Amino acid sequence: MLRIRHEVDGGPGLLHAEDAAPPEAGAGELLVQVEAVGVTLPTVRRLRDSREPLPLGGEIAGRVVATGPGVTSFAPGDRVTGLCFADAYAEFAVLPAAMASRVPDDATAVEAVALVRSGLVARGAYEAARVEPGESVLVTAAAGGVGTLALQYARAGGAGRVVAAVGSAAKADFVRSLGADEVVTYQDLDRHGPYDAILDGVGGDLLPTAVRALATGGRLVAYSSGGGTVEAYELLLRGASVIGFQIRAIAVGRPGLYARWRADLWHRRAAGTLRPAVHAELPLTAAAHAHTLIERRRNLGKVVLVPGAPSPRTAPGGRRDPKERA
């Protein structure tokens, strides 16, 4: 089978394609023939800064071909999606059964990886912000996989003002189509506040600016892998709070709630009130290009790797043409 491996040789890490034997499902695991892999920002960030080889994790969707000992909730032939912590960039991958969920018959694998994990994070961050009807909500990284769904949750949840923060004004029409009333760039973030709630998927150097944009009593939910430092004085000045959110804590600590949220994702998708956005479908061999799209914030929605897809073609003028939107 084809697999992408992270390799480091005294410098920045590289992604290499290799032939490998398919893995085997262990206890409590599923062996999945992968049809789609969702590239995640945390994986991109970890690999960018690492000086040692790291596992390639990601959201996968596909069909179960074998089950390991102790698995009773799934069987070969079932279509599933879930988060794979290692060797996700491959034609076959091992997925813990506890992390798997079923994919409806009328949904594609690409839709599944664009919707489920990102949608659960978006839903959880919005719930953690405790948004009251009529309040203002700012979503950072609004054109990303989670941000596009967070905008839709804010719009459907009764927010009075939904603002999308993006790295480039060129993304304005795209995020407006998903429910944003206003669009700001990160340079102007605190000039258009204050905001009652901020859902922050960027972190890092943007976090202090975002805190200063909070209204009195405002709440910022940090769910990014970018870190960042908050001055306690800024919170005291506004009577504001910063809340950390991690979907794994819900999946492990509150499985019943996690299952209800997951079912609601598919219900909203079927009703047409939650629309996953996909920027590009790329072959496994274009994994490095997929990482570049995300790292440089060029994507409008989810970037997905599709095993079995043809290699990217080069259009006249040198532009890639792998089902990719500019």
Element (H, E) at 52: none
pLDDT mean over 261-273: 94
Handedness of CA 118, 201, 296, 229 (dihedral sign): negative
Please report, rounded to a whole number, the percentage of residues in the chain having pLDDT higher than 90. 73
Mean pLDDT, rounded, for 212-233: 91
Rounded CA-CA distance 230/125 in Å is 18
Contacts of 259 (CB under 8 A, 6+ apart): none
Q: Same CATH fold, 121-246 and 2-103+277-305? A: no
Q: Which two tokens stand for residue 30?
A: 């599923």
Q: What is the DSSP letter of 272?
A: T
Cβ count near 13 (within 10 Å):
20
Q: Does the pLDDT at position 258 exceed 60?
A: yes
CA angle (112 as vertex; 148, 19 as ends), nearest 5: 115
Task: Name which of 85-89, 142-146, 184-188, 314-318 the model is least confident about.
Answer: 314-318
**Taken in order 20, 21, 27, 31, is the CA torsion positive or negative?**
positive
pLDDT tens readout for residues 70-80: 999 999 999 99
What tens digit of pLDDT does each residue of 173-186 get?
Answer: 999 999 999 999 99
Domain spans of the chain?
2-103+277-305, 121-246
Q: Please tell me the distance from the alpha carbon of residue 181 to that of residue 162, in angstroms, as a whole number.
A: 5
Assign domain 121-246 one CATH number from 3.20.20.70, 2.40.50.100, 3.40.50.720, 3.10.20.740: 3.40.50.720
- What torsion do the CA atoms of 289, 291, 296, 302 make, to the nearest 10 degrees? 100
> Can you tell me the distance from the alpha carbon of 168 to that of 298, in angstroms, rounded to the nearest whole number?
9
For domain 2-103+277-305, the CATH class is: alpha beta
Q: Which residue has the tokens 């009577």?
A: 239
